């Protein structure tokens, strides 16, 4: 008797478990990647919020560090737990461990999009949507317990309301440069970039 059918069956079960645990990928209609320097605080919190707020919407999400993963900061875990979002099981990963082609939207949470310019990382900025947010670094502004980021008592995340077609903002036209209402950068340029540069 050959062991191959058993091995193939076992590998299939392992693959299915990995797919079921994966928080992004082909099983989702859209996939979002949150990036920051070390994947220790800002990107972890954004990842946790999107997972909590997406409900049953088919949106995959992951987060990674541009210069490498370190560890999820205990303060970030504590503040998110106070908000009703558990990120204690999250891992700090490096962007090198992911394929940019798996993601439709890439958000740099630390305003460090320029760190994605080297050839080995440039593909991250070519996704359908790239946004370079410049969120404050929680440990830098509140080096104690991150309580500055805690919501008021009793506030819990809720699913966003369903939007009708009339409520969805229009897509930017070629040459507009940014999405209407998007935050403006220090040079006055739009921070939200589409792959075609519009």
64-94 residue pLDDT tens: 999 877 889 888 898 888 888 999 999 999 9
pLDDT at 142: 62
Q: Are 87 and 63 in contact (CB under 8 A)?
A: no
Residues in the chain, pLDDT under 50:
1, 7-8, 10-20, 163-194, 197-198
36 is catalytic: yes
d(CA 125, CA 35): 11
Q: Which of these is catalytic: 36, 41, 109, 112? A: 36
Say which of 41, 109, 110, 112 is annotated catalytic. 110
Enumerate the domain spans of the chain: 27-160, 162-198
Report the side by side order of strands in the sheet with 105-108: 59-65, 30-36, 105-108, 129-132, 192-194
Q: Which helix H or strand E contains 59, and what residues bound it?
A: strand 59-65
Write out pLDDT tens, residues 140-161: 666 565 566 566 676 665 555 5
Task: Output the pLDDT for position 189.
Answer: 45
Per-residue pLDDT, 191: 45
pLDDT value, residue 139: 66
Locate 78 and state its tokens. 């504590």
3.40.50.670, 3.40.50.620, 3.40.50.970, 3.40.50.2300: CATH of 27-160: 3.40.50.2300
Task: Give CA separation, 155 vs 133, 135, 140, 142, 172, in Å.
Answer: 24, 21, 24, 21, 34
């Amino acid at each position: 008797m050959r062991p191959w059918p058993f091995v193939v069956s076992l590998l299939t079960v392992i693959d299915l478990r990995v797919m079921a645990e994966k928080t992004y990928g082909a099983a989702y209609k859209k996939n979002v990647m949150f990036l920051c320097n070390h994947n220790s605080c800002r990107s972890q919190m954004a990842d946790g919020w999107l997972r909590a707020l997406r409900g049953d919407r088919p949106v995959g999400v992951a987060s990674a560090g541009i210069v490498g993963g370190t560890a999820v900061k205990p303060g970030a875990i504590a503040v998110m737990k106070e908000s009703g979002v558990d990120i204690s099981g999250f891992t700090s990963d490096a962007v090198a461990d992911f394929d940019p082609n798996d993601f439709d939207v890439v958000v740099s949470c630390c305003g460090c999009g320029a760190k994605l310019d080297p050839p080995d990382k440039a593909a991250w900025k070519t996704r359908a949507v790239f946004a370079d947010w410049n969120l404050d670094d929680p440990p830098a502004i509140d080096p104690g317990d991150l309580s500055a980021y805690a919501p008021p008592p009793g506030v819990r995340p809720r699913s966003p309301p369903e939007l009708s077609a009339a409520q969805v903002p229009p897509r930017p036209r070629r040459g507009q440069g940014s999405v209407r209402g998007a935050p403006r950068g220090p040079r006055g340029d739009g921070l939200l970039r589409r792959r075609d540069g519009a």
